[in-house]
């Protein structure tokens, strides 16, 4: 009997995503709360850095949102913003370097300007991207981070 169950499970096609996730992906009603939450995280992080109250966790949050924005540009959502997003990512490296020397998580001047420009592009991307494209961009971002982590692990001599 267990042999038949195994065969049945093996021959049944497995859906690429759950019915709930599929419904959410195609639902415009779910789109707005999700994208608003993403923007809120990004803008709250930027505000904390502007006030000198940033942290490693907020740095990671903002950095991930910028990577998602980069992937959304590559997918075709506001593709002309990719250079602005790259400048914002450079600003993020400056924030990290500044924290290492001063011990404070802060952003100002041109770096703040580049981050606000990139978040404006991110907001425009999220307004037009489907949840499916957003999920695709997040998956690509995670794959890229994993590749980078693997490359760093291989580059470190044992």
| Residue-level pLDDT at 119 | 98
Query: Average pLDDT of the chain?
Result: 86
Residue with tokens 């506001």: 78
* 31 belongs to a structural domain: no
Q: What is the pTM of this model?
A: 0.78
SS3 of the chain: helix, strand, coil, percent, to 5: 80, 0, 20
Domain with 135 in it: 56-149
* 17 belongs to a structural domain: no
| Widest pairwise Cα distance in the chain | 70
* 120 belongs to a structural domain: yes
* 143 belongs to a structural domain: yes
Asked if residue 124 has pLDDT above 80, the reply is: yes
Please state, as a whole number, how many other Cβ atoms lie within 10 Å of the Cβ of residue 99: 17
* 135 belongs to a structural domain: yes
Domain count, the chain: 1
| Residue-level pLDDT at 24 | 59
* 133 belongs to a structural domain: yes
* 67 belongs to a structural domain: yes
Distance CA 48, CA 105 (A): 9
Mean pLDDT along residues 10-33: 60
Better pLDDT: 152 or 27: 152
Structure tokens at 33: 């709360």
* 38 belongs to a structural domain: no
Question: 105 near 54, Cβ under 8 Å?
Answer: yes
């Amino acid at each position: 009997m267990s042999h038949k169950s195994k065969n049945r499970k093996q021959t049944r096609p497995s859906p690429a995503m759950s019915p709930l996730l599929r419904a959410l992906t195609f639902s415009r009603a779910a789109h707005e709360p999700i994208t608003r939450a993403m923007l809120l995280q990004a803008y709250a992080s930027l505000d904390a850095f502007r006030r000198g109250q940033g942290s490693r966790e907020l740095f990671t949050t903002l950095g991930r949102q910028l990577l998602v924005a980069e992937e959304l540009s590559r997918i075709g959502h506001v593709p002309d913003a990719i250079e602005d997003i790259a400048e914002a990512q450079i600003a993020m490296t400056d924030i990290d370097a500044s924290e290492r020397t001063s011990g404070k998580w802060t952003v100002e001047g041109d770096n703040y300007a580049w981050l606000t420009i990139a978040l404006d592009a991110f907001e425009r991307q999220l307004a037009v991207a489907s949840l499916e494209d957003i999920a695709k961009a997040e998956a690509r971002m995670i794959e890229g981070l994993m590749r980078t982590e693997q490359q760093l692990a291989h580059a470190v001599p044992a």
